[in-house]
Amino acid sequence: MTLQVSTIGQIEITVSDVERALSFYRDTLRQGVNVRGVLMHQDQRVKRTFIIVLMLMVIALQPSPGSAQDTLVTTDVRPSIQAARIPSDREVRLDGILDEDVWALAQPITEFRQQEPVEGGMPSEPTEIRILYDDQALYIGAMLYDSDPEGILAYQLQRDAGLGTDDRFMWIISTFDDNRTGYFFETNPAGLLGDGLIEGGGGFNKRWNGIWNMRTAIQSDGWSVEIRIPFSTLNFDPALEAWGINFQRTIRRYNEEILWNGWRRTEGLFRPVHTGQLSGLRGLSQGRGIELKPFVNASTNRGPAAGAKRGNDAKTGIDITYSLTPSLRGALTLNTDFAEVEVDNRQVNLTRFPLRFPEQREFFLEGSGVFSFNWADPFFSRRIGLVEGQEVPIDFGARLGGQVGDYELGVYQVRTGDTTLENGDGSVRPWGSEDFTVARVKRRLFQQSHVGMIYTRRASDDLTGTGILSDRHTVGADLNFYTSQFLGKYNAQVEGFMLYHNDPVAGGNSSSSDRSARGVRVSFPNDLIRFHSSHREFGEQWDPALGFVERRGFRRHQPTLTIAPRPQGWSLIRQTEHEISFEYLTDMDNRLLTRNIDITPLQINFESGDRMGVEVGRNFERLDRPFTVYGRGDDAIRILPGDYHSDSWSANVSTAGRRMLSGSAEIGRSEFWGGDRNSLDLSGTIRSRGGVSLTANYQHNEVSLPQGDFDTNLVRLSWAWNLSPWTAITGNVQYDDLSDVVGVYARMRWIVQPGNDIFLVWSHNWLYDDGPLNDSRFTTLSRGGAVKLNYTLRF
């Protein structure tokens, strides 16, 4: 047959070429994907067809010359907005209404374009933004017009709550205008404060909380917002008179997203390379760059179980931050306390690998983006001050972070104190003090790329007083090459890393290869086609002292292809997704351990925001050692070594969060370690526009194995009552029948003013036992409460 392709001429592919290629690909899937083997295959016709089919797939999926995308009015000129300086005798009164005469000094920007639902389309509602500044702060005023104010949605009030339910206004500020990093902010018509840190590669860390202020107002012609961001909250280079900035608005009832710049679907708000320019900034001041944050904490803990910690405690401490330069900031924390940190959500683990929980402590969140490392975890901050989920006191911690020229730096030095830890049987054991060091540097390359190095050290004291018990070091390097101009307009990325750590046992006989890790990943993350393929190797003794290790001693090949077309003429459907993912994992001698083929034949994203989809999979697992999948002691159910094949399927549906009542459901069935597993995951939320929400989650597994049958259940009920954006009462009740522990957690946070907080925290954990010999089914394991006051002083 002959295929005519206008962009590359005429290419002839015979039917026998295709059949031969398909046969080869089918055999490859059975034996494991090896791209190098395809490209070096001795049959050049197979190689030729492989390459040509990939080319044709890419070309066929491009918009035709007459498509809407090719008729868009596009420009490569970077838009700009001029910040107007506020005269010394004028001021902005934060009330959400832009009625001060000083706003007339700033020229507004109004040129927004749709990203969704019509790429490049004109917005359904106009938006107007102005920017002012004085010596101390940046001011943003936005008028978000709406022809139907009754349709404005604003459910959320709690700081940093997700705004997938609401109308919203988001913006990013790249103070170094480096195409990589910046600050993220967002609000809704109810006045919620949300913020985070933009990290290289398009991700962001929303757990950072900066000190800033704003007010909103809903009016007859839409809603408006006034924002004040102190310069002391930001790192920046005072020699730069221009920053990167971008804005995005969501009109939730239409699921419409509009942006000032970077509105193409291959771009977006979270890619600083697509910011516009904020110019006219002169004479900015961070003050003396000193921030003092003292705190007072009073707590009580009770636990009748043997070995449980109990008693009353009062504690004071302080966090000190100093700007060595406007772009480089150091911090010191003394007698650190994390009483206000929320409890982790429980998870049911039916695998043989550890679960990963996110960091929630503020000291380790600010500036954490610099420590990210390409698809490996040589530094996991929860290794500091936490052991087996139990808190270890931090005597002091020092942090340095920021930018120096083309370099981005991050350093931690932390010391933890002596303590005791509880064992599973209720007894306790001593735990000695430790020193932790982490150092990270990234060097900017080209427009969006970097090369970097990381070093970590963990030194543990010998409780006998004879000196250091262990001293463990890890060192590594990584490369991230990223471009948003591949083939003119597409995103493409190449990442690589290498890591090595010393032998944790002095005089040990493990090789350097056993204690190392390496990998490479190629990505094509775009709207219509998303592809990535990675190869990673982790040695037999890979165990970085400050890292997160799921497994070791393997080589993994993992390509994934997603095609996500947007059907034309289907008024109810916005986009469909179709994905195939392959994982081929061997040991270091290339013996097969795992082979997974997972296919999403159909995922539908509706214009309403609802979603539904199905997934199927065929998997192989070789287990080389037994593990306990359920139970304890004599009642434990253990999975024995052997080869296990399994097929699986699942179906899911979720409704749009903009509704007062929303939810999701997923059901699945799979073969499971020689038996069967049925799973159910349900979630439902009811919310009001007064800041009250209630969410119920239920997870159920029904497992049948030759060794025995069992069920698992996890129930979580979460609530939030937000009296205002400054006062929130939140909490949850959790129960799972693996631990048989019922836990209740409640927290009130009152933001007296940004940077000054009062926390009230209470928790109670019971062991539930419905055995016939128990007089009471609930036995208290622990209960406690805390009051914490933070106060921030800036000089």
* 742 and 736 Cβ atoms separated by less than 8 Å: no
| Per-residue pLDDT at 60 exceeds 70 | no
Does 193 share its domain with 142?
Answer: yes
Write down the pLDDT at residue 145.
98
Query: Is the predicted pLDDT of residue 292 greater than 90, yes or no?
Result: yes
Secondary-structure breakdown of the chain: helix, strand, coil percentages, each rounded to the nearest 5: 10, 50, 40
Among all chains, which residue has been given the structure tokens 């490209």? 39
DSSP labels, 501-531: E--SSTT----TTTTEEEEEEEEEE-SSEEE
Q: What is the pLDDT of residue 128?
A: 98
CA end-to-end span of the chain: 76
pLDDT given for residue 467 in this prediction: 60
Whether residue 134 is contained in a domain is answered as yes
Same domain assignment for residues 95 and 25: no
pLDDT digits (tens, 9 = 90+) for 683-702: 999 999 888 999 999 999 99
More confident: 115 or 631 = 115
**In a shared domain, residues 21 and 170:** no
The verdict on 22 and 106 lying in the same domain is no
Spatial CA neighbour of 70 closest among 120, 15, 124, 107: 120
Per-residue pLDDT at 310: 62
Half-sphere exposure of 46 (CA within 13 A, CB side): 19
Q: How confident is the model at residue 507 (pLDDT cuts 50, 70, 90)?
A: low
- Neighbour count for residue 247 (Cβ, 10 Å): 22
CA distance 312 to 315: 10
Residue 83: predicted pLDDT: 96
When comparing pLDDT for 525 and 1, which is higher?
A: 525
Task: Examine the domain organization and report whether 34 and 138 are in the same domain.
Answer: no
Do 252 and 165 contact (CB within 8 A), yes or no? yes
Position 31 scores a pLDDT of 44
Q: Is residue 649 part of a domain?
A: no
209 shares a domain with 169 = yes
Q: Kindly tell me if the per-residue pLDDT of 12 is higher than 90.
A: no
Cross-strand pairs, 785:
300, 762
Q: State whether residue 663 is helix, strand or coil.
A: strand
In this model, does residue 54 exceed pLDDT 60?
A: no
- Does residue 224 sit in the same domain as residue 272? yes
Tell me 695's DSSP state. E
Per the CB < 8 A criterion, the answer to whether 211 and 91 are in contact is no
Can you name the residues that pair with 524 across neighbouring β-strands? 531
Q: What is the pLDDT of residue 747?
A: 95
Mean pLDDT lowest for which of 214-218, 419-423, 551-555, 711-715?
419-423
Domain boundary, last residue among 257, 279, 301: 279
More confident of the two residues 309 and 352:
352
Q: Which tens digits make up the pLDDT trace of 378-395? A: 999 999 998 887 889 899
Mean pLDDT for the stretch of residues 766-788: 78
Residue 373: how many CA atoms within 13 Å on its side-chain side? 29
Q: What is the pLDDT of residues 378-437, one digit of tens each?
A: 999 999 998 887 889 899 999 999 888 889 999 999 999 988 888 877 678 888 899 999
| Residue that terminates a domain, selected from 260, 279, 298 | 279
pLDDT at 132 over 70: yes
Check whether 34 has a pLDDT greater than 50. Answer: no
Look at residue 327 in the predicted model and tell me its pLDDT.
Answer: 86
Q: Does the pLDDT value for residue 552 go beyond 80?
A: yes
pLDDT at 81 over 80: yes
Same-domain status, 41 and 178: no
Provide the CB-side half-sphere exposure for 105 (13 A, CA). 18
* pLDDT band at residue 37 under the 50/70/90 scheme: very low
How many distinct structural domains can be found in the chain? 2
Q: Which of 147-151, 211-215, 779-783 has the lowest mean pLDDT?
A: 779-783
Look at residue 713 and tell me if it is in a domain.
no
Look at residue 92 and tell me if it is in a domain: yes
Q: What range does the domain containing 145 cover?
A: 76-279
pLDDT over 80 at 151, yes or no: yes
Which band of pLDDT confidence, cut at 50, 70 and 90, is reported for residue 705? very high
Is the pLDDT score of 512 beyond 80? yes
- Hey, which bits of 725-772 come out as E strands? 727-736, 741-753, 756-768
pLDDT surpasses 80 at 286: yes
Q: Which residue has the higher pLDDT, 666 or 310?
A: 666
Which domain-ending residue is among 234, 254, 279? Answer: 279
Span of 196-200, 260-264, 774-778 with lowest mean pLDDT? 774-778
Indicate if 238 and 92 belong to the same structural domain: yes
Averaged pLDDT of the chain: 86
Same domain, 166 and 22: no
- Note whether 102 and 54 are same-domain residues: no
Residue 461 lies in a domain: no
Could you tell me if residue 160 is inside a domain? yes
How many alpha carbons lie under 13 Å from residue 129 in its C-beta half-sphere? 24
Q: Check residue 36 and give its pLDDT.
A: 39
> What is the CATH classification number for the domain harbouring 91?
2.60.40.1190
**321-375 pLDDT, tens digit each:** 999 988 899 999 988 877 777 788 888 999 999 888 888 888 887 777 788 887 7
* 237 contacts 328 by C-beta, under 8 angstroms: no
Q: What is the spatial distance between Cα 540 and Cα 527, in angstroms, rounded to a whole number?
A: 38
Answer yes or no: is 56 within a domain: yes
Q: Would you place residue 56 in the very low, low, confident or very high pLDDT band (cuts 50, 70, 90)? A: very low
Which residues, at least 6 apart from 139, have a Cβ–Cβ distance to it below 8 Å? 86, 92, 131, 132, 133, 226, 227, 228, 229
Q: Kindly state the percentage of the chain with pLDDT values over 90.
A: 63
Tell me, yes or no, whether 593 lies in a domain: no
Asked whether the beta carbons of 709 and 729 are under 8 A apart, the reply is no
Instruction: Read off the pLDDT of residues 575-607 as tens digits, 9 standing for 90 and up.
Output: 999 999 999 999 999 999 999 999 999 999 999
Looking at residue 303, what is its pLDDT? 67
Whether 115 and 254 share a structural domain: yes
